[in-house]
Amino acid sequence: MKIPLFPLQSIFFPGETVPLHIFEPRYKQLIQDCRDEAMTFGIPVYIDGKMEYGTEVQLVEVVTTYDSGEMDVVGVARQVFKVLTFDNQMDDKLYAGGLVKFYEYDYEAEADEKLKIIQKIQELYGIMDVPFSQINVAAFNSFTLAHKIGLSFEQEYQLLQMPKEKDRLSFLNAHLMATITVLTEVERTRKTIELNGHFKNFDPLDFKDIEV
């Protein structure tokens, strides 16, 4: 399928709100076409000098239109796709486009698997002293807090490419366990330093009576 493409160095997960500030003429045209034709567009992720995967976006609202013609818009991320071809200009348009292949994603996981991830996120937030709001297990999926648990850009990109929920939850579990272990050790070290006080005066060793 051929769709308009709006490449960014950003990752949007399915179901996520997509806020964009539009200022280039080509993307002003894209947004206008989305309004007129109710079409969607894709945001392929620009990473390591290439674009292979991205997320389809549906325009929801043009929040603000400025005198300059710039716009603040909001969309919602939908399906993940693989980029098959990329053209700098799509047909007779200013914006880019290309052929993409959409992937089928599942969100099937046992409640206890999801609860385990939620508990680890709560533990992580506790270590970091960050407020944690209770999450509805039934509504939770691997993408819900993916941007808020310390994943690197590369790790988020890996997560985006996993079509099965169980694989995504397993990936998050491994990341959370490793992060919690590191932060727990850092916190233990910090507390040890506090218990030992700050800077102290130590008497230097007297080596005159030591035989070698």
Residues 17-44, mean pLDDT to the nearest whole number: 96
Please give the pLDDT value at position 192.
Answer: 65
Amino acid at 11: I
pLDDT for 206: 54
Handedness of CA 125, 130, 136, 140 (dihedral sign): negative
Q: What whole-number distance in Å separates Cα of residue 109 and Cα of residue 112?
A: 8
Give first-to-last CA distance, the chain, whole Å. Answer: 81
Nearest to 56, CA basis, from 103, 95, 21, 117 = 103
Per-residue model confidence (pLDDT) at position 194: 63
Residue count (the chain): 212
Q: What is the pLDDT of residue 208?
A: 53
CB 42 within 8 A of CB 96: no
Q: How far apart are CA 153 and CA 5, in angstroms?
A: 20
Q: What is the mean pLDDT of residues 8-30?
A: 96
Q: Which CATH fold topology does 2-102 show?
A: 2.30.130
Per-residue pLDDT tens over the stretch 54-88: 999 999 999 999 999 999 999 999 999 999 999 99
pLDDT in tens, 179-201: 999 998 887 776 665 665 555 55
Q: What is the pLDDT of residues 75-122, one digit of tens each?
A: 999 999 999 999 999 989 999 999 999 999 999 999 999 999 999 999
User: For the chain, which residues make up each domain, given as ranges?
Assistant: 2-102, 111-195
Quick check: 210 pLDDT over 90?
Answer: no
pLDDT of residue 190: 66
pLDDT at 212 over 50: no
Taking CA atoms, 190 is separated from 81, 124, 178, 183, in Å, by 45, 17, 19, 10
Q: Is the pLDDT of residue 8 over 50?
A: yes
Question: 32-71 burial by CB neighbour count: b if 16+ within 10 A, else e?
Answer: ebbeeeeebbbbbbeeeeebebbbbbebeeeeeeeeeeeb
138-152, 168-182, 188-202: lowest mean pLDDT where? 188-202
Give the pLDDT of residue 193: 58
CA dist., res. 180 & res. 12, Å (int)? 25
